[in-house]
A and B are shown apart, each in its own frame.
Chain A
Amino acid sequence: MECVVQGIIETQHVEALEILLQGLCGVHKQSLRIHELCLKSVPNLGLVASGIRLLCDLEQPQPTWTVRHVGGPMRGAGAERISVLMRPMVESKVSKNALRLLLGYKLDHEQLRVGFAFHFRRGTQITVTVSSINKILKLHATDEAVPVTPGIQLVEVTAPASSENYAEVVASVSSFCEYIALAWQDGVMAVPQ
């Protein structure tokens, strides 16, 4: 399972956010360039439609592939009490042949994420990702990707969780998000008029 909080930030402030995050997290950023292929199962395969994502990390000298399945958000009384999103998530490293082997799946859409990420520990392992989502106009042409929303980038705070410890993960993530929000607000408001 993972705990996810998604937000947006205007592109002009991304640099400031990077500095803020560096101060808050205490680690250096890692650049991110991920080609994400979202596959959906073909209609006749199984009773329920399913989707998985293949992520290719293009930042490394050798592209590394990951396969990821994301489930629906946790619902119910427990979910209503928490202010973050919990959802099941399974991830695994795979070889580049994964694409060929996933016979029952068809490409639904693909996107390219370009940005940076901070991985650090604050009560639990937290990852903050600031990235611009780019759509790929021609099939697999990652070099010609344009942002979906040029003025806005996506900020994601994620933390892995399990069903036993999700309460503390939720607490850490939400407190960290508040922390960022407050720090950001102070920074913004403190700029002299």
Chain B
Amino acid sequence: MEGVVVGQDQQQQQQQQQQQAGRVMVEGLNPAVQQQLNLESVKTRAVSLFKAISRILEEFDAIARTNALPKWQDILGQFSMVNLELYNIVEDIKKVSKAFVVHPKNVNAENAAILPVMLSSKLLPEMEVEDNVKREQLLHSMQNLSVASQIEKLKVRIDMIGAACESAEKVIADTRKAYFGTRQGPTLLPTIDKAQAAKIQEQENLLRTAVNLGEGLRIPGDQRHITSGLPGHLVDVLAVADGPQSFADSSGTYLKNTPPFSSSNVNSQGALLQVSGALRAAASPSGTTSFDTTTASPLQHVNSPRSSANMMNTPSPQQQTHQQQQQQQQQQQQQQQLQQLQQRQKMMQLPQHQQQLLAQQQLRQASIPGLGQPQMQFSQPLGAQQFQGRQLASGALHHGMGQSQLNQGNQLNRHLNQFSSPMNTALFNSAQSTPTSQMISNMSAMMPSQTLLPRMQIGMSGGTRNLAAANLSDQMFNMGGNNPGMMSIQQQQQQQHGTFANMSQNTQNLQQGMMPLQNTPQQTHPSFQQQRPQGQQ
């Protein structure tokens, strides 16, 4: 019984205070507690409860042996009686147990064994040993004295140490005052007014961005010429004598040699810089061939100008034919390399998202001369998402929609990437590339090259029509359209951004059908044929 154990503890405390040794005290509760709880009666009740429970268990045993049907009503009645009795006993104990007992609530078979260990206040053996050792050291000199005098002596010791600390601090403060007082003539203001604090904060931000990000340290491209002599440590490192091949200056010096060009060309080719180069190189089979046919460029550095030249030469590799590319390449390559370098430098100095915006805007203006067929351009600012979009869209082409939907999808993807999360992008990809029942009926009636407007509308939401989308179709065929159409797309995207969730029900069931569609024979648009291997990657 817990009560009995508790009583024992209390008695032990009393024993210590009286410094009794060897005399066994009779165990009993504190008289005050005894008024509240009659320990004897609790014991009797507990014993009777124990007997009742064991009787019930015996009955169960007998029933099990004889395989008789137990009379559940009786058994439940006995159980409730036992339960009630236990509850009453526990309640009685609880009244007084708050002072000195921990009452475990959930005692069952598995924790009954470990409970005593958990509840004990005795230290672990190692800790106890440490404790004893330290106590021994402390009280070594004082063991012969009484406890009270031991306490006194310890207090005195503590006070002495405290006083020593304080005097040490004082000495340090005094010397510091004296030292700094002699060194610094003008006194420092401990408080700074707000304006000064703001100025300091501003300067701090400037400094931090300069150190960590390089803001404010970048020299614009046109100033990146080595005018004065190089410092000693750089003289033999940078091969200045070779002229424009200096690594740091490659973009800058190239400007001198670049013939004047129209801004639209620059923009169009610069816009393609946004493409993740690796993705583009992997995706376009034509890209690799064009790489081989590159003539020797005046640039020393292999990686940058060449791969970007590829990019420029094959802005929409999936649509262009091999022959076309190779013809145009050699014409345009040199020009484009030079133009692109300058553009890239400008681009690099813009923050990322502005670059994307700029690229998309510039793409609208792009016009690659000499391409007779309707050419779709799309750039992928964020490679992974776009790739996914492309795959889904290419599957949907099976439905006879031709290439324009792919283009549409990717362009809209681009806008999406700009405004929304990847999740929405995926959703939208599936939404606009998988035909709903409405879409199918409309699609079949349309010619691939002319159905951009309605398709896009349907793909996005129920019924918003946008008149400006007529411009879109022009632009998507790269006929040199103008910007307003694209802007409207952007706005449209923003409006419909919130409706994408509605598409999910329609599209999910259709999406599963998408993958096998990629393998079906496509329409014979030559540039689309190129797309397939990439789509199946």
* Interface, chain A (partner B; CB < 8 A): 6, 8, 10, 16, 35, 38, 40, 42-47, 56, 58, 63, 96-97, 99-100, 102-104, 106-111, 133, 135-144, 148-149, 151-152, 154, 186-193
Q: CB-nearest residue of chain A relative to B349?
A: A108
Q: Are B247 and A151 in contact (CB under 8 A)?
A: no
Q: Are A154 and B211 in contact (CB under 8 A)?
A: yes
In angstroms, Cα B227 to Cα A139, docked, is 8
Q: Are B176 and A111 in contact (CB under 8 A)?
A: no
Q: Are A139 and B233 in contact (CB under 8 A)?
A: no
**Interface assignment of B236: CB less than 8 Å from any CB of chain A:** yes
Given the known inter-chain contacts A40-B348, A139-B225, please indicate yes or no for A96 contacting B180, CB distance below 8 A: no
Please indicate which of the listed interface residues B204, B211, B301, B311 has the most CB atoms of chain A within 10 Å of its own CB.
B211
Given the known inter-chain contacts A43-B348, A44-B307, A133-B211, please indicate yes or no for A110 contacting B217, CB distance below 8 A: yes
Q: Are B249 and A139 in contact (CB under 8 A)?
A: yes
Q: Are B233 and A35 in contact (CB under 8 A)?
A: yes
Which B residues are CB-close (under 8 A) to A103?
247, 301-303
How far, in Å, is B290 (CB) from chain A's closest CB? 14
**Interface assignment of B151: CB less than 8 Å from any CB of chain A:** no
Give per-residue flags for B263-281: 1 if the beta carbon is below 8 A from chain A beta carbons, else 0: 0000000000110111101
Q: Are A106 and B247 in contact (CB under 8 A)?
A: yes
How far, in Å, is A183 (CB) from chain B's closest CB? 9
Which A residues are CB-close (under 8 A) to B211?
6, 111, 133, 154
Which B residues are CB-close (under 8 A) to A149?
203-204, 206-207, 210
How far, in Å, is B137 (CB) from chain A's closest CB? 28
**Among B176, B204, B238, B347, which residue has its beta carbon within 8 angstroms of that of A190?**
B176
Which residues of chain B from 383 to 415 have a CB within 8 Å of any chain A CB? 383
Q: Are B308 and A148 in contact (CB under 8 A)?
A: no
In angstroms, Cα B31 to Cα A27, docked, is 71
**Among B219, B231, B250, which residue has its beta carbon within 8 angstroms of that of A143?**
B231
With A56-B234, A106-B304 given, name 11 new contacts (CB 8 A).
A42-B303, A47-B279, A99-B237, A99-B238, A103-B302, A104-B304, A109-B218, A111-B214, A133-B207, A148-B206, A148-B210
Which residues of chain B from 141 to 193 have a CB within 8 Å of any chain A CB? 173, 176-177, 180-181, 183-184, 187-188, 190
* Interface, chain B (partner A; CB < 8 A): 173, 176-177, 180-181, 183-184, 187-188, 190, 200, 203-204, 206-208, 210-211, 214, 216-219, 223-228, 230-234, 236-239, 247-251, 273-274, 276-279, 281, 301-304, 307-308, 311, 344, 347-348, 383
Q: Are A148 and B207 in contact (CB under 8 A)?
A: yes
Given the known inter-chain contacts A192-B177, A192-B181, please indicate yes or no for A141 contacting B207, CB distance below 8 A: no
Q: Are B237 and A97 in contact (CB under 8 A)?
A: yes
Q: Are B250 and A191 in contact (CB under 8 A)?
A: no
Q: Are A47 and B276 in contact (CB under 8 A)?
A: yes
Which B residues are CB-close (under 8 A) to A45?
277, 303-304, 307
Selected A-B contacts with CB under 8 Å, 14 pairs: A16-B184, A44-B281, A58-B233, A102-B247, A104-B303, A106-B250, A135-B217, A139-B248, A140-B234, A140-B238, A152-B203, A190-B180, A191-B180, A193-B187
Q: Are A140 and B181 in contact (CB under 8 A)?
A: no
Which B residues are CB-close (under 8 A) to A142?
231
Q: CB-nearest residue of chain B relative to A189?
A: B190
Which B residues are CB-close (under 8 A) to A107?
224, 247-248
How far, in Å, is A155 (CB) from chain B's closest CB? 11
In angstroms, Cα B180 to Cα A103, docked, is 53
In angstroms, Cα B15 to Cα A172, docked, is 50
Which A residues are CB-close (under 8 A) to B250?
106
How far, in Å, is B91 (CB) from chain A's closest CB? 45
Which B residues are CB-close (under 8 A) to A63?
232-233
How far, in Å, is A33 (CB) from chain B's closest CB? 11
Q: Are B218 and A138 in contact (CB under 8 A)?
A: no
How far, in Å, is A2 (CB) from chain B's closest CB? 13
